[in-house]
Amino acid sequence: MSAARTLRPGRAKRAAPRTAEARETVPNLLVRKRNFIAKTVNVAVIGALAVGFSLWAADANAADAMVQKQIQEAERSATRGPYAVDGVFTGTAQGYGGPVTTQVTVKDGYIDDVQVVDAPNEDGPYLEQAVKLIDDMIARQTPNVDTVSGATFSSAGIINGAVQALEASNSGQAGAAASAEDGE
């Protein structure tokens, strides 16, 4: 008899792997696939974290910009006077002899200068006495000062004209002129 074996029907002969490399191919493919999936997931997670960090950083930068703006506004208001708009403002009010036109210069929110620009019917001596209160207005940074004794109505004309000029500054009307007829 020959040394050859006969195969039974329905049974196939198993093919023996040819080399040691061939035996490791299937497990290596599974390991490689698993490593590829793990690396892909890692890259996706890192990408998501990078996008999330970028969004967070953008929000933080926007918040920082808002805080810086608020700080600048606070510093500006701390160094700025109480009057809203800088410029030269004019107000007219009734004095002793008629209307008195007062011009107020506001610089950096503070009263920088006050002048009587027109008082055609005022008595000279009364007006000279009343003009002395202008230095007090500038020093106190308010038109709410005491009238000059002996020149009460002329003082009131200057004060009320300055009040109206500063109201124009606070209302945001740059270089506005105001007028009032206070029957004093």
For residue 94, the domain's CATH number is: 3.90.1010.20
- What span, in angstroms and rounded, lies between the C-alpha atoms of 117 and 158? 10
Asked whether residue 8 is domain-assigned, the answer is no
Per-residue confidence (pLDDT) for residue 52, from 0 to 100: 93
Is 14 within the bounds of a domain? no
pLDDT of residue 4: 56
Same domain for 50 and 117, yes or no, is no
* Number of neighbouring beta carbons within 10 Å of residue 138: 17
Say if pTM beats, i.e. exceeds, 0.85.
Answer: no
Residue in this structure with the two tokens 């329905």, named with its chain if needed: 10
Q: What is the pLDDT of residues 4-49, one digit of tens each?
A: 555 566 555 565 555 655 555 667 777 788 888 999 999 999 999 9
8 A C-beta contact, residue 176 and residue 83: no
Same domain for 153 and 73 = no
Residues constituting the chain: 184
137 & 108 share domain: yes
Q: Are 147 and 133 in contact (CB under 8 A)?
A: yes
Of all helices (H) and strands (E), which one includes residue 136?
helix 133-140
Q: What confidence tens digit (pLDDT) does each residue in 103-158 have? A: 999 988 888 999 999 999 888 888 899 999 999 999 888 888 988 888 899 999 99
User: Lowest-pLDDT range, 12-16, 24-28, 81-85, 177-181?
Assistant: 177-181
Give the domain-ending residue among 62, 79, 96.
79
| pLDDT at 160 (0 to 100) | 94
Amino acid at 67: V
Structural domain ending residue among the three candidates 53, 79, 105: 79
Query: Is the confidence at residue 80, as pLDDT, over 80?
Result: no
Which residues have CB under 8 Å from 47's CB, separation 6+? none
180 pLDDT more than 50: no
46 and 92 belong to one structural domain: no
Q: Which of 28, 59, 79 is the last residue in one of the domains? A: 79
* Tokens read off for 141: 């940074």
pLDDT at residue 15, rounded to an integer: 57
Please say whether the beta carbons of 96 and 123 come within 8 A. Answer: yes
Residue 23's CB is within 10 A of a number of other CB atoms, namely: 12
DSSP symbol at 109: T
Domain of residue 40: give its range. 20-79
Does residue 1 form part of some domain? no
Same domain, 51 and 131: no
Same domain, 71 and 124: no
Question: Exposed (0-12), middle (13-18) or buried (19+): which is 87, by Cβ within 10 Å?
Answer: middle
Counting the structural domains of the chain, the total is 2
Please give the average per-residue pLDDT across 60-86, as a whole number: 78
* Number of neighbouring beta carbons within 10 Å of residue 55: 10
- In the DSSP assignment, the letter for residue 133 is H
